[in-house]
Structure formats: structure tokens, C-alpha cells
Structure 1
Amino acid sequence: MHTPTETPSPMNWLTLLEHEARALLAELDAHPEARRLFDGSIDRDRYVHYLIQTYHYARWSTPLMAEAGRRMKRQSPNSWLGELMQQKADEERGHERWLLSDLRQLGWSAERVERQMPNPATTAYVAWNRFTSRCGRPEAFLGTAYVLEYLSVSRASQSVERMLAADTIPNIRKAVTFLRAHGPTDEGHVAELTSLLGSLEEPEARDALLLSARTTRVLYLGLFA
């Protein structure tokens, strides 16, 4: 006899969301290239590669999140999350300029950065979030945001401290603006997201967030390729 699947309770579904973020941390810790960033042993070329790929997705954060927020306010039963999405879009505004500043300190002009093609994982990440923001479930971008902010809280400050201690990259002290800004700031963002998402009751919206969190986890590893 078929037994209907029970809808996860708010606590259970948030546990699943946190699991995706924790799984990404474990996978990155096991990835040789990512581990070099976290332990401070990364060299200049690898760090430049990481910053360039991050720039190519971060530049889209504000416009896509703002677009998702507008759609949610117009047509989603969870329109109250639209305000949160637009707030987060404002929080992300200008972060790509921090990346360009860091890269300039490492000898890369903005024009040279723009000429670099994003790798397949970065391209797929942007395409996925463009799809969910424009014609998919706009709530999904909050799953992406949760995973990336969880990662920042857990690893950004550590990476900065260890790169500065190693001091193997010329001018590194002036090239950690992006990472330095994300550690302590995102801690409050994760707590806020967790609190607000606990009120999300629609199963389809929860599924969209979980799928986007999982997609982000899979694609983020590719930034280091």
C-alpha cells in the first residue's frame, strides 16, 4: 500500500538546506585547489583565477536577485520574500568592484579581467540563476544565497588570515578586500535567512530552494577548475 510522503517540517527542511552548505564545505576542504585558498598556500596565479571566476558570477548577483525579488512581489504566494530578495540585492551591490580592486593590486586591469572567459562552471552558475530569476521559481535564488553566505562565514576570514600569514603573494595585503568583507558580514545574513525561511510553508518553494542550494554546491567546485 502506498503511503503518502509527509511534508518535511520547517526544522527538517532547514536541516536539509544546511546539509547542502556543510556538504560544500567538506567537498571544498577535500579539493586540492580550494584547500590551498583556505590554508593560505595558494599561489598568485591560482588566486587570480579564483578572483576572476568569482567576479564573473558576482557581477550578476544584484541584477538577478533584484529581478527575482520583483517577480516574487508580483506573482508569488511568498511575495513577502520579495522584499528580502531586493534587500539582499542591495547588499550585494558593488561587490564586483571589490574583486576588480583586488585584481588590480595583482596586476590585472579591469579590461584584462573582462577579456577572460568564465569557465564552464561559472557560466552554468550564472545561467541557472538567470533561469530561476526570470522564468523559474524566483525563491530558488535564496537557496544559492544561503549556501554562498554559509561558505563565506565558515571560510572567508580564515582564508584571509592564512594568506596574510603565509605572505607568498606579492601585494596580498591589498588584494583581500572581497574576502575580508564577507566573513563577519555574512554571519548575520545566514542567521536572518534561517529565521525567515522557517516561515516558508509551500512545499514547491522549499523544493526550489533546496534544488538551487544543491546546484550551487555542485557548480561551485568547478570555479577551481
Structure 2
Amino acid sequence: MEESLRENAERIRSRIAGGAHDPAEFRASLLSVPPDARDAWLDLVFGLSELPDDGPDLPPGCVPYLPCSVDTLLRVVEQAGVQASDVFVDVGGGLGRAAAFVHLLTGAGAMAIEVQSKLVAAARDLAARLRVPRVACIEGDAAELTGCITIGSVFFLYCPFSGERLANVLAALESIARTRTIRVCCVDLPLPPCPWLALEPPRSGDLAIYRSTLLDGALRANG
């Protein structure tokens, strides 16, 4: 990485940890970095190096941890319209990288659900080092815990699992969608038919954004 980009990343990290973070400044600094260097730049801001190995607590049928690219997360934020008033939930949050990034970029509250205890500890360490109180990591099985995150408004699934586990998560999300309109963001993850989810106009092949429709009738009646 060029020295100027390294200095930029270190300056942004210092401002975040010092309580002087500004989402607009963070976005401008990120976008000034060439796309092929953005992941390395973010990892430097976050003080992340090598990926940890997956542990024995990764359940069968779950995908090993692999961080989502910065540019994909940028598209998620843009196409899902993530705002500071949202709560972003990363289902299978790993090191907490995506949750911390979305929070810093938008001001949204962010939560990561992660089953591997070693990754949970790393995610909590990241949030503590960055001093971002609106970022949290919950340890446990997303297939069992997702339905408990009733304050979530944007749920992110970066190909965490499929089959019965995915069906359980979608059932939990349907329950939440009966109380509030939510968006479900999927990367490289085809969803089974869900009558309560409407696919937003696709803008890229690997990313699909869905919006819940269960409350649409009530909103029209009240309008």
C-alpha cells in the first residue's frame, strides 16, 4: 500500500478512537482510495491482519468465515438505503468488520451475530479499540438468535448457511416483519420463495435486496 494511503488510514483510525469520527469524512477518505486497495485500507484502519482459522464451534452446514469486500458493503448501504436511524444486523458477523464499517459509514446502530467464540472475542475487541458503543457482537447460533433482534431493520446475509438453518432464520425474520418493515440483504445467497418479501430492482448479480411487505396493507389503510 502506498505510504499516503497508509497515513490516511492511520489518521482515520486515530480520529475514530479519539471520539472525533465523522461519517462524511470517513466516506470521503474511503472513496479516495483506489477500489482494489479499499479492503487493505479498511483492515489497516481496524488494525486487522491475518484471518483467524475457523474453530470447532462452527456448526455443520455453516460457511467458514470470509470477510465481505468493502465495495460490496458500499453497494449494500446504497441500495438498501441504510440510514443513521437503522439497526444493521450482520447474520454470521465474524470479526465484526461489516458491522463496524456500516456503523462508521452511516451512523446506524450495528450488531453482529456470531457462533464462533474466538471470532466473537475478536469482534468485541475491535469495537472496544474503535470505541464505538453502537456496535455490538452477540455470541450464539444465528438460526436461534436472529428472531430476538427485534430492533433490527436491515439484516445482512453474506452466504452464511442454507437449507434448514436458512429456513429458520427466514421464519424468525418474518416474525419481526409483522411488527416493522425490514430489508434483507443477501450476497451470493439465493432465497427460497418468501411471499412476504419483495425483491427490489436488481442492480448487480451477486447482491439482492428484499423489502418486507407484511405491513403494506396497514400503511395504505392508515394513509
- Structure (1/2) with the larger helix percentage: 1
- Structure (1/2) with the larger strand percentage: 2
TM over 0.5: no
Larger RCO, structures 1/2 (Cα 8 Å, 6+ apart)? 1
Q: TM-score range by the shorter chain?
A: under 0.3
TM-score, normalised via structure 1 length? 0.26
